[in-house]
Structures are given as C-alpha cells and as structure tokens.
Amino acid sequence: MELAPPFVVSDPPECRFYRSLDELVLSTRLVDVEVYDAHGVRLATTSDGFDVSSVEPDQLAHVLRRWLGHMDALRESTASWPLWLLVHAAVEHTGYSR
C-alpha cells in the first residue's frame, strides 16, 4: 500500500500536517499521537519507521471534523463532506507544519 501525503498528526485537540514522513519524524514527538496518511491509513511507529496499523478513513474524518470545529474554521456542517475535502480544508486552514 502506497502512503499519500499530507500526513496528519492528531494530538487532541490539535492536528498538524506534514508533506512527508521525513518532515514528520524530524518535527514532532511521536508519543501519544495518532498518525494518518491522506486516505485514512493509520500508521504505527516502529524501530524502522512506520507500519500500517489499520485503514480507518472514518476515524480520520472524525478527527478532522472535530479539529475543524475546535479551530472554528468553518461555519457550515462538514457531516457530508468526503475525506479528501476534509483533508484539503484542514491543510488550507492551517498550512503545513515545519
């Protein structure tokens, strides 16, 4: 399975977005966070990098809806939005982490 950016780090109530796994590893502490790719693939950290933990697009959609609500980024309901639109809106709202 090929992983797709952006990579989402969920550290409730915050989310951060990275263009690559290398940027993510260099920029964040990977303790008590959830990491997803753009398609909702959940990643688990290993000594060699990352392994696919599970495929949870509904979970990522829930994380992004909660985060967008927390950020008060949108004035409309995102309940019917597909995952790709949620990911796009989230990255557009906050930009990529450095």
pLDDT at residue 9, rounded to an integer: 94
The predicted model gives 10-27 an average pLDDT of 90
38-90: pLDDT as tens digits: 999 999 887 777 888 888 889 999 999 988 887 776 667 788 889 999 999 88
Residue 26 has pLDDT above 70, yes or no: yes
d(CA 4, CA 64): 16
- DSSP secondary structure string, 60-87? HHHHHHHHHHHTT--SS--TT--HHHHH
- Helix (H) / strand (E) element for 57: namely helix 57-70
Looking at residue 8, what is its pLDDT?
A: 95
